[in-house]
């Protein structure tokens, strides 16, 4: 339950055992890769993790230069009956804290012989929502404003591109070549 005393923690819908329930005895060098929060509704979230580990058979898995592989995002658990503010806090705080790891918010990224990645995540400590309400609200407003600005920048870039294409009299085929070359 993320040591947060909010909501009601339960397994994800249709869940089956995954690598997230395994320990380092079952998977070598098992640790959390990254996390994301899927917002199911205003009051329900699903915590998802990737698992990063050293596979026994590297030829069967796509591995990095050190021989590790990482799963896709897998559902860890759901938390229901949250207030909207609690859901906002979890949605925005957990992925950052997981990325920081190293004991931040009492989160450790590595599985042990007795603790799985889900066990580690459940030991996570969130700040009290009431203690950070103003900061959370400021963060959410700033994030919304940044998203609006990103959209405006994207629209402006598109308009500039269209003006340049028109000034140079480019055909549709030439525009396609230019956009492929610059990766748009």
- DSSP codes, 53-65: EE-S-TTTS---T
Assigned domain for 2 exists: no
Same domain, 48 and 15: yes
Q: Report yes or no: 129 and 86 within 8 Å, Cβ to Cβ.
A: yes
Domain boundary pick from 111, 127, 143: 127
Assigned domain for 1 exists: no
pTM listed for this prediction: 0.70
Domain range enclosing 139: 135-182
Q: What is the pLDDT of residue 98?
A: 85
Same domain, 82 and 160: no
Same domain, 111 and 50: yes
Domain boundary pick from 127, 147, 167: 127
Same domain, 139 and 121: no
Assigned domain for 66 exists: yes
Low-confidence ranges of the chain (pLDDT < 70): 1-9, 11, 13-15, 101-106, 184
Q: What is the pLDDT of residue 14?
A: 66
């Amino acid at each position: 339950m993320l040591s947060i005393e909010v909501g009601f923690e339960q397994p994800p819908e249709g869940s089956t055992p995954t690598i997230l329930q395994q320990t380092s005895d079952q998977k070598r060098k098992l640790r959390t890769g990254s996390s994301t929060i899927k917002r199911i509704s205003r009051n329900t979230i699903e915590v998802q993790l990737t698992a990063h580990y050293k596979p026994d058979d590297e030829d069967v898995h796509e591995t990095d230069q050190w021989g590790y592989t990482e799963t896709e995002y897998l559902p860890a658990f759901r938390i229901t009956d949250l207030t909207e503010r609690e859901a906002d806090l979890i949605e925005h705080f957990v992925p950052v804290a997981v990325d920081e790891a190293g004991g931040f918010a009492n989160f450790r990224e590595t599985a042990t012989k007795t603790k799985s990645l889900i066990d580690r995540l459940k030991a996570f400590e969130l700040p009290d929502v009431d203690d950070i309400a103003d900061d959370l609200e400021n963060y959410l407003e700033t994030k919304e404003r940044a998203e609006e600005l990103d959209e405006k920048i994207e629209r402006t870039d598109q308009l500039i591109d269209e003006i340049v294409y028109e000034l140079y009299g480019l055909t549709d085929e030439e525009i396609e070549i230019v956009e492929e070359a610059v990766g748009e």
